[in-house]
Structure formats: structure tokens, C-alpha cells
């Protein structure tokens, strides 16, 4: 089962998004920060989980590039749309236009993914729809900022040159070259092979 964040007072979502754009980027968002920013109610505390769920905060509460990108009013709605689509990717996998679905369809979906009470499902739906209200899904960037991506190094490439010394003898040599090896170093490797292996002496 999936644990979807929700607000019992979804109107506070809009106020917090406005705060993100207006305030300086904090080093960390926690309960103390919420209270200092004017979100003092116990019902405001779920904002932290909501911001983590949508990628505005990392798991420790530190603002991410999504938070930083959202501060630019010109592209904020597109950034929010991308964050919503990423957070609720399974929902958007079922309904491409999930942001346009009515309460009945959304309640049915969330009910099938979690085992919370119906009243909680209603809050989950309201929270989702509130987020969507301030997003522009046509302006959502096709890909997240490159700094948000996890880049995995390519595995080392295996090069297996075949060197024939005589018509009756064949020797296979395997050379493992890392993907980030400079071109000049690769050339040096093969030049040395030629000098030491491909010789008639």
C-alpha cells in the first residue's frame, strides 16, 4: 500500500507554495521552520511530508532543485506539474489527464492503493486536486533538471583485438578500458601493443 500525503486544510498548500516563492531558500524545513514562517497549526505539519512526496524537499528536509526552480514565477507552474506527475506517476500511468479526473475516479484509484478510511481518501483527493490547481501540465518540462538526475557511469568497455603471429597461431588479447579513459591514453595503449606485439623480431 502507498502512503499518500494529505492536508485536512488544503488551502494551506497554496499559501505554502506562495511562501516558497517569496522567502529565501532555507537550509532545512522542519516543524520549527514551519512555525517561524507562520504555519503554526498542527494541521500544517503534513506540509513537510507533502513537500517531500512531491520532491520539493529531500528525505532530510533540505530544499531540492525542484524547490529552487519553483521560485521562478515564469516556470513555476510547469515545475509543479512535473513534480506532481513524478510523485503520482502510477496515477498518471492510469490516467494521462489525471488532473482533470472527477472525485469519483480519483477516490476509486486512491482507495485501491491504500487502506485508510474514506474520510482520509477525501483529504488525499482534495490535496491532489489543490496541487493540480496551481500547476500547468502543458508547460511541464519533458525532463527534470539534469542536476536532479542520478547519473550512473557506463561499464568498462571490453576490447578484444585479435593478433595473428603466424598462419598457424592466433592469440586473443582482452583489454578492459574504462568508459572515462581519455582518447589519447587509449591511443597510447594500442600504439604500445603495436610496438611490442606486432613485430617480426
CB distance 50 to 127 below 8 Å: yes
Q: What percentage of the chain carries pLDDT values higher than 90?
A: 66
CA distance 126 to 39: 19
CA distance 95 to 160: 48
CB distance 5 to 53 below 8 Å: yes
Largest CA distance in the chain: 86
CA distance 133 to 80: 10
pLDDT tens readout for residues 87-130: 999 999 999 999 999 999 999 999 999 999 999 999 999 999 99
Mean pLDDT of 160-187: 62
CA distance 107 to 64: 30
CA distance 200 to 93: 64
Cα separation of the two ends of the chain: 71
Per-residue pLDDT for 149 more than 50?
Answer: no
User: What backbone phi and psi angles, to 5 degrees, belong to 156?
Assistant: -60, 140
Categorize the per-residue pLDDT at 170 as very low, low, confident or very high, splitting at 50, 70 and 90. Answer: low
pLDDT tens readout for residues 7-37: 999 999 999 999 999 999 999 999 999 999 9
Per-residue pLDDT for 141 more than 70?
Answer: no
Amino acid at each position: 500500500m502507498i502512503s499518500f500525503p494529505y492536508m485536512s486544510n488544503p488551502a494551506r498548500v497554496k499559501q505554502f507554495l506562495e511562501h516558497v516563492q517569496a522567502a529565501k531558500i532555507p537550509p532545512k524545513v522542519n516543524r520549527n521552520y514551519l512555525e517561524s514562517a507562520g504555519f503554526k497549526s498542527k494541521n500544517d505539519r503534513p506540509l513537510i511530508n507533502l513537500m517531500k512526496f512531491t520532491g520539493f524537499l529531500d528525505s532530510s528536509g533540505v530544499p531540492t532543485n525542484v524547490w529552487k526552480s519553483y521560485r521562478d514565477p515564469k516556470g513555476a507552474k510547469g515545475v509543479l506539474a512535473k513534480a506532481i506527475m513524478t510523485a503520482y506517476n502510477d496515477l498518471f500511468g492510469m490516467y494521462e489527464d489525471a488532473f482533470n479526473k472527477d472525485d469519483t475516479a480519483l477516490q476509486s484509484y486512491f482507495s485501491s492503493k491504500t487502506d485508510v478510511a474514506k474520510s482520509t481518501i477525501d483529504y488525499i483527493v482534495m490535496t491532489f486536486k489543490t496541487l493540480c490547481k496551481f500547476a500547468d501540465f502543458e508547460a511541464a518540462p519533458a525532463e527534470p533538471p539534469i542536476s536532479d538526475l542520478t547519473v550512473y557511469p557506463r561499464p568498462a568497455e571490453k576490447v578484444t583485438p585479435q593478433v595473428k603471429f603466424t598462419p598457424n597461431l592466433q592469440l586473443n588479447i582482452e583489454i578492459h578500458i574504462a568508459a572515462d579513459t581519455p582518447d589519447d591514453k587509449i591511443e597510447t595503449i594500442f600504439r604500445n601493443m603495436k610496438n611490442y606485439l606486432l613485430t617480426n623480431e
